[in-house]
Structure 1
Amino acid sequence: MQNRVKKQTRILAIDYGERRIGLAVSDPLGITAQGLETLSVSCPQDALSKIEQLVKTFRVSEIILGLPVNMDGTRGCRAQEVSGFAERLRKRTGLSVTLSDERLTSVAAHRILHRMGLKIKDKKRDVDRIAAQMLLQDYLEKYSNRGGRDAR
């Protein structure tokens, strides 16, 4: 009897910042997002190496990268920086990198942490990871309403 179990992969979400990068990954079915960690960025190449390692560990098939868009919908210089990082990610991993509007994810993450009663130093460590998790969960829900991951 032939094993027909489909190889399940995950989606990695990245909340990119100058000092910290928040990371989250989907479950293999693409239903929920789990926060992974927040990387401290001292060298972008080190961050790329760590992300490449996570792509292999979690068998990631797609990357979602938060795009900082101004409230009026325009893109500023930070968006250009993120677009450059997306291109380096594509080249390094060979995966599709989707830029996704991240407006207000950090604000919402700060609110969640405030409600949890965390101290400011703990918030700084966790806010980017939670923002990445929120970005990914929004993305997963958006596409689950269109017939699942295959509809992308």
Structure 2
Amino acid sequence: MGLDLGEKTIGVATSDATRLIASPLELIRKSKFTLEAEQLFKLMAHRKVSGLIIGLPSNMDGTEGPRAQSCRAFARNLLRLRDIPIAFWDERLSTSAVERFLIGELDLTRKRRADVVDRTAAAWILQGALDRIRVAERP
């Protein structure tokens, strides 16, 4: 399962059982961490998810700022509740790429884009990680 941790929402994406294709799934509105974690764990159980890929918003020079530190803290807090595999994926420019796609290819309105951008960014993040895993698994 892929996560795009925004300031107000958490975009959630999943892959098919063969780990080939990532798809946007849901948007979790941020409120209280325990409620967010509960929603996330329910989704994971329902989808039989074995691990998380969390987008890490690094700076363009590769350093980590406050948003990246917040993502790492979110992961640490999840691990305090449940021992699950978590990996981070460099999400630099993922939201920008998704917004360009939603505007240019799909011509979505601003309101409609706001409704789908975080879920789609989560799928973008997860797809990048899945593609990398497939390359690493090749003989």
Alignment TM-score, normalising by the size of structure 1: 0.86
The structure 1 residue matched to 2:39, chosen from 28, 47, 50, is: 50
1:131 aligns with 2:100: no
Question: Match of 1:46, as an amino acid?
Answer: L
Distance 2:109 2:21 in 1: 27
1:119 aligns with 2:109: yes
Once the 2 structures are TM-superposed, how far is the Cα of residue 130 of structure 1 from its aligned partner?
0.5
Distance 2:21 2:82 in 1: 23
Once the 2 structures are TM-superposed, how far is the Cα of residue 114 of structure 1 from its aligned partner?
0.4
Distance 2:21 2:109 in 1: 27
Q: Which has the larger radius of gyration?
A: 1
Aligned length: 138
Which residue in 1 is equivalent to 2:137?
147
Q: Whose helix fraction is larger, Structure 1's or Structure 2's?
A: 2
Tell me if structure 2 keeps the 8 A contact 1:52–1:92: no
Poorly superposed stretches of 4+, deviation over 3 Å? none
Aligned-residue Cα RMSD (Å) equals: 1.4
Once the 2 structures are TM-superposed, how far is the Cα of residue 143 of structure 1 from its aligned partner?
1.0
Distance 1:39 1:121 in 2: 17
Once the 2 structures are TM-superposed, how far is the Cα of residue 84 of structure 1 from its aligned partner?
0.5
Question: Match of 2:29, as an amino acid?
Answer: S
Tell me if structure 2 keeps the 8 A contact 1:33–1:133: yes
Which structure is higher in RCO with an 8 Å CA cutoff and minimum separation 6? 2
Once the 2 structures are TM-superposed, how far is the Cα of residue 37 of structure 1 from its aligned partner?
1.1
Tell me if structure 2 keeps the 8 A contact 1:14–1:132: yes
| Ranges in structure 2 where 5+ consecutive residues have no aligned partner | none
Alignment TM-score, normalising by the size of structure 2: 0.94
SS in structure 1 of the partner of residue 102 of structure 2? helix
Tell me if structure 2 keeps the 8 A contact 1:33–1:136: yes
| Ranges in structure 1 where 5+ consecutive residues have no aligned partner | 1-11
Which residue in 1 is equivalent to 2:26?
37
